[in-house]
Chains A and B, each alone.
Chain A
Amino acid sequence: MDTFIQLTVAGLSNGAILALAALGFVLIYKASGVINFAQGQFLLIGAYVVWALTVDAGLHWALAVAGAIGVAIVLGLLVERVILRPLVGEPTISVIMVTIGLAQVLGALVQIIWGTEPRAFPEFIPDDVVTVGGARMGENRLWALGLVVLALVVFAVFFQRSRYGIAMRAVADDQQAALTMGISVRRTFALAWALAGVSAVVGGILIANLIGVSGEVSNIGLLVFPVVIVGGLDSVPGAVVGGAIIGLLTAYTGGYLGGGLDAVIPYVALVAILLVKPYGLFGEVRIERV
């Protein structure tokens, strides 16, 4: 039973980090229908910028995080304007490939600017051990869980009550109609990418806190796919639930079965969901019209 609790707690906290990483992804898809294969690299850049500002430039961590958020927003806006705008209307494969190409470019730039040596992440998130119901975990995991819940609440309110949130939902539903209602589609896209940048910085910080600042931070980008497919590509609560499910599955497999199976189980889950409920648990079912 002890093991079960420990694994559950570990799984949920990992899932929380996955959910934060996936959040940016969902936001972009929800607003503009674009799949961002470069999400992992956004996390990477967030982590590196915070590290650079804290360690290299010696700023206080709060300033560094603010700075990184600023950089992420600018990056998001740039990407949307320069790369995705020209591809409006192009087939899905082209949009997918352009974000893949972008991922390579960003990864390469990070390598060129900061090198590949792994570095310790500045310790401003406390790492003390906390016992929850018999299971032990680091305090930074608790922070991750807290941040996810906060994000969930904030975004729920945003999409239900705020003008910009409702505008985003309108644009996601039908761009033409939104335009006729006077909603600036361009600004909505820009906002979505900016918000995605913010969540990427937070996700990147949490991951780098666990494994150090190195190219490995972007690997979580691939795990985002099982999360959003299980949860639903355009659903924020879906990302959270998806993250929890994938986190728990990985933990239970690694803990009870071992042998490296935990590396492949997210993808098996992905295929399973696609065959049973293709739009995910919370995703909006797309009805194809001729």
Chain B
Amino acid sequence: MATTTGVYHTSYRADLALRHTRLEYVRLALALAVVAALPFYASPFWLHVLDQIGIAVIGAIGLNILVGYTGQISLGQGGFLAVGAYSAGVVATKSDLSPLVGVLVAVLVTAVVGAFFGLPALRLKGLYLAIATLASQQIIVWLIVHWDFLTGGVDAIVLEPATVFGWTPTGDFDWYWVIVGFAALATITATNLFRTGVGRAFVAIRDHDIAAEVIGLDPARYKVLAFAVSSAFVGLAGALTAYWTQILTWERFTLDVSILYLAMIIVGGLGSVAGSIYGAAFMIAIPAYLDQLSLRVSAESILATDLPAIKLLIFGLTIVLFLVFEPRGLARIWQRAKDYLRLWPFRY
């Protein structure tokens, strides 16, 4: 209940609600309206970028569940995306099952693989876990490149266009709705996850896992579960990548991709689903914008001749500057903006 002196809740249900004030509902409606209207106004290039962002949102939410909410560092995102994508790819090319089955298989397989690679988390923390996941990333990619019979090795797997219930999404416009649908599903699932006991257990493990164990949470169970749940989201993102791009090569899933996703959730805000969305959009839109820019400047300018280096530089600088000046990311910046407006003319 919003009053002039603040927001008060008079029931547990109200306390757990996702939105508390009318203003928040209005903002949500506006955001949804923008998301619905975007594909009609975007140029083909930006529509393609939006589709990429949509898939990245799902992956970023997954990673944030693991890293932001449960505090387990993972450098293996690229590898898990690969598992999801190649599972879907194998289902698509080696059987006639519906793409929905492919997606389901991808989600389940990736969750299992994620749980397996999460086992080191039971013994390792922080830095050691990060390095273990780095190793898992390299090993998974190597397996994909060398496991010819299953994956096509260094050659690409090419998928036929996906058809569900007689409808084949063709082109980025159709895919936008599919991707946004899944992204919305992922967002709602993740948000609700943290209203449940399981979600709270994850957060407890992040904050102080020894204390969590003392009060009766089984850290082993919840850590592995965190890896599994996170990987399920990532598997979904991987499967969508497979069906959308229709061409699967191992280069899509290298360490650079893992780093990109980590950058997304750090820039966006650890431990925040909205942050994952902002971070994904930010880290994909900026290089895309630079690409566009480079095509319009003269060929002599440094942007055109050194484009990859400039993109790399800006990528690195973004990470460093955010971490030095606003470690809690875009979500925090947005929160501060909202607070400023809400509390004005007071400072806090």
Contact = CB atoms under 8 A, between A and B. Distances in A.
On whether the two chains bind one another, the answer is yes
Interface of A: 35, 83, 86-87, 90-94, 96-98, 100-109, 111-112, 222, 225-226, 229, 233, 259-260, 263-264, 267-268, 270-271, 274-275, 278, 288, 290
- Judged by DSSP, the binding face of A is helix
Nearest to B206: A91
Contacts of B327: 87, 90, 94
A225 B308 contact: no
Contact of A87 (B125, B312, B324): B324
Interface residues of B, number: 46
Given A97-B262, A222-B134, A267-B135, 7 more contacts: A93-B67, A93-B270, A96-B130, A105-B320, A260-B145, A270-B135, A274-B124
Nearest to B315: A104
Nearest to B141: A264
Nearest to A228: B131
B175 to A, nearest CB: 30
B263 A97 contact: yes
Interface string B202-215: 00000000110000
Contact of A111 (B73, B130, B262, B308): B308
Contacts of B308: 111
A164 B134 CA distance: 34
12 contacts: A93-B73, A96-B127, A97-B323, A98-B324, A101-B263, A101-B316, A101-B317, A104-B315, A108-B309, A270-B131, A271-B135, A278-B123
Contacts of B126: 92
Contact of A100 (B138, B211, B313, B319): B319
B36 to A, nearest CB: 34
B105 interface: no
Nearest to B126: A92
Nearest to B72: A93
B132 A270 contact: yes
A98 B322 CA distance: 9
B127 A105 contact: no
B16 interface: no
A274 B131 CA distance: 9
B306 A111 contact: yes
Contacts of B324: 83, 86-87, 98
A290 B208 CA distance: 9
A101 B139 contact: no
Contact of B312 (A92, A107, A225, A274): A107
Q: Which among A106, A112, A260 has the greatest number of chain B C-beta atoms within 10 A?
A: A112
B87 interface: no
B136 interface: yes
Interface in B52-101: 67, 71, 73
B127 A274 contact: no
A13 to B, nearest CB: 23
B302 A98 contact: no
B210 A290 contact: yes
Nearest to A116: B309
